[in-house]
Structure 1
């Protein structure tokens, strides 16, 4: 039970609350906005470190987040503009959404790859089982539909946050950038679960109907 709750607690404390609190405290003590934003990024980095120690491994998603954090540090070193630092997060989200959209018509849409990771946990036999599901048209439609949904949502979210970055105060955007992404991902995860369950039930119903129409051998 604790192992299931821990990731959510870490995300709430370190990736959502920590950046907001640190930014407010740092700027309230005279620290510049850019350094305050960088200090706030320590929270998500700590979450990754604790998760890696707890699971005793570093997965590809943690590596991606670390790359994003590193890009933020590099951006801060070359550009003394807090809004540009905030805009980087929207740009990364939008780029990821576009990559997802590009993979929709391919034989390996990104949600197929992500689904394989979570459904198989790297077990070779389950990976082979998951890959074999691609032979079914309904499964292919579901994976492409899910990838389209995630890609479009990420692109729209990125555009909205990019516009808000130059319309809202920096302090407000710190809260927006901390809260909106996990909320959007959570809603997408729920929608993905519902979609997958409905697709699974529809597939089982089609198989049952096909078996019922078969003439028994004599």
Structure 2
């Protein structure tokens, strides 16, 4: 990744934190002067939802984060309909990440974990060619070990994010939680991505040796 790409990535992350964290905190506190805490919070959560809907309509496709926010909003509505309080609405994203974490962990007990398919899906190479390489490499015990380790790490990271935020939502004020929640999300995501990059680079070197001598 060159400097320009890194700069663009950082700018995108900062902008997302502002839209999904800073602005909702400001709007929530402003609306408290006119509405109840529950209504203010519900209205504040519409900001990140609206931003993602705009991008979906603009680019004619839903990205992972857009779907993530939409799913979180559905959980918010369910919490409201079931008589949930403000903190259940605050945990809408963590309900999604927690569920995804469980799915990742659960996939460890099937033939091929999720990371196996994600590796093919998000590869920059030809998908059919990459599918063939993955199928061939799957015969190697080390490759299967690497795929399962990466799947486990992502499952633990996503489930851990949900657990941390569930604890903090009952420890912090609503304003405090709104301010810190996005930093927790991106922090956990950043650590998982960094681990994936470093571990993949290390594993690829060893895998190249194994495929050469095979």
Query: TM-score, normalising length from structure 1?
Result: 0.79
Which of 186, 196, 204 is equivalent to 1:200? 204
Matched, 1:24 2:15: no
When Rg is computed on C-alpha atoms for both structures, the one with the higher figure is: 1
1:42 Cα shift? 2.4
Residues 115, 151 of structure 2: 8 Å contact kept: yes
Query: TM-score, normalising length from structure 2?
Result: 0.80
Q: How many residues align?
A: 209
Q: Deviations over 1:120-156 (max 9, x none)?
A: 5884444444444433322221111011111122223
Aligned-residue Cα RMSD (Å) equals 2.9
Matched, 1:14 2:53: no
CA distance, structure 1, for counterparts of residue 136 and residue 59 of structure 2: 29
Secondary structure, aligned partner of 1:119: coil
In the alignment, structure 2 segments of 5+ residues that lack a partner are none
User: Cα 1:8–1:61, aligned 2, differ >3 Å: closer, same or farther?
Assistant: closer
Residues 57-68 of structure 1 aligned to structure 2 (within 5 Å): 57-59=61-63, 62-68=66-72
CA distance, structure 1, for counterparts of residue 44 and residue 131 of structure 2: 38
In the alignment, structure 1 segments of 5+ residues that lack a partner are 212-218
User: Cα 1:13–1:163, aligned 2, differ >3 Å: closer, same or farther?
Assistant: closer
